[in-house]
């Protein structure tokens, strides 16, 4: 809804006041592998979840594009712009647990000299019951990294089982001497792509095929037929922004941050 917490809070307050059914399309929620993972966690197949890890890798084209379009590089970060997608999918699975503390660190050796940006952030969320979520994201990989946008790996460990999800998209690799025109391609010198790593989906036979199509169809079902969908509520979306800001705040101050943080 915004990249600043105070702005997001104003939007959320207006939504609550109006009573409108406002939802946010966190695209990963509409992909089958994440829906399967959600169901296993929800039904207790893993027992009590005690540890989740996520690792997101992105080439730096996304970061450079975002920093180029902003007037203030300090207002955006890999966590706020892109880490939020991995964060949401994990917090959606852990929705029964209450986060109470974040401890994080960041590094800026690659993008710092180029655009005063942050390369990567890693940190740990501690939940009220003692369970942990370790998150790491880097959007400073070389531009030759074949992932068009997102390569994600998640591991979920519980008292009765473990679930690992490989969403790196290395199963379909395109290599060509021509401009591929695939998904997110701000730099035409790239000739190799992990197909499917552009979150909205891929153009196939003149139509967009992928999670954004599913997301839109479910949104229409929600409006027209009143069906319950897995869209993020406005409150959940605001919470995700709050958590990403807390990651950045902890990394900046180099100390643990108690949750939640307020809009000031």
Q: What is the mean pLDDT of each run of 10 residues along the chain (264 residues)?
A: 92 96 92 94 96 95 90 90 95 95 97 94 98 97 85 97 95 81 59 84 86 92 94 96 97 97 86
Q: What was the pLDDT predicted at 182?
A: 54
DSSP 231: P
Q: Identify the burial level of 212 via C-beta atoms within 10 angstroms of its C-beta, where 0-12 means exposed, 13-18 middle and 19 or more buried.
A: middle
Beta bridge partners of residue 121, listed in sequence order? 106, 137
CB-CB contact of 175 with 191 (8 Å): yes
Burial 36-49 (b: 16+ CB within 10 A, else e): ebbeebeeeebeeb
Beta-ladder partners of 55: 136, 153
Each residue of 63-81: pLDDT tens digit? 998 899 888 888 889 999 9
CA 123/CA 247 separation, integer angstroms: 7
Walk me through the domains of the chain, giving residue ranges and CATH numbers.
Answer: 5-255 (3.30.360.10)
3-state secondary structure of 211: helix
CA torsion 1-15-28-159 (nearest 10°) is 110
What pLDDT is attached to residue 122? 98
- What pTM does this model have? 0.91
- How far apart, in whole angstroms, are the C-alpha atoms of residue 53 and residue 132? 8
Q: What pLDDT sits at residue 186?
A: 55
Determine the Cα–Cα distance for residues 162 and 143; give it in Å rounded to an integer. Answer: 34
Q: What is the pLDDT of residue 178?
A: 76
């Amino acid at each position: 809804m915004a990249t600043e917490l105070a702005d997001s809070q104003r939007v959320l307050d207006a939504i609550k006041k109006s009573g409108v059914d406002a939802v946010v399309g966190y695209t990963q929620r509409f992909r089958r592998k994440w829906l399967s993972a959600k169901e296993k966690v929800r039904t207790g197949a893993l027992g009590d979840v005690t540890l989740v890890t996520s690792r997101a890798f992105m080439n730096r084209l996304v970061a450079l594009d975002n920093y180029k379009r902003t007037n203030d590089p300090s207002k955006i970060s890999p966590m706020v712009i892109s880490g939020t997608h991995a964060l949401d999918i994990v917090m959606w699975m852990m929705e029964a647990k209450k986060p109470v503390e974040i401890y994080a660190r960041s590094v800026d050796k690659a993008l710092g000299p180029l655009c005063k940006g942050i390369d990567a952030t890693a940190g740990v969320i501690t939940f009220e019951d003692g369970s942990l979520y370790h998150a790491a994201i880097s959007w400073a990989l070389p531009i030759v990294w074949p992932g068009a946008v997102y390569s994600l790996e998640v591991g979920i460990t519980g008292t009765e089982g473990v679930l690992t999800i490989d969403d790196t998209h290395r199963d379909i690799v395109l290599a060509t001497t021509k401009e591929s025109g695939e998904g997110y391609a701000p730099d035409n010198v790239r000739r190799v792509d992990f197909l499917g790593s552009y979150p909205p989906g891929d153009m196939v036979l003149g139509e967009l095929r992928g999670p954004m199509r599913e997301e839109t169809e479910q949104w229409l079902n929600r409006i027209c037929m009143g069906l319950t969908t897995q869209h993020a509520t406005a409150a959940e979306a605001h919470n995700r922004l709050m958590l990403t800001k807390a990651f950045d705040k902890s990394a900046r101050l180099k100390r643990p941050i108690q949750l939640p943080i307020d809009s000031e």
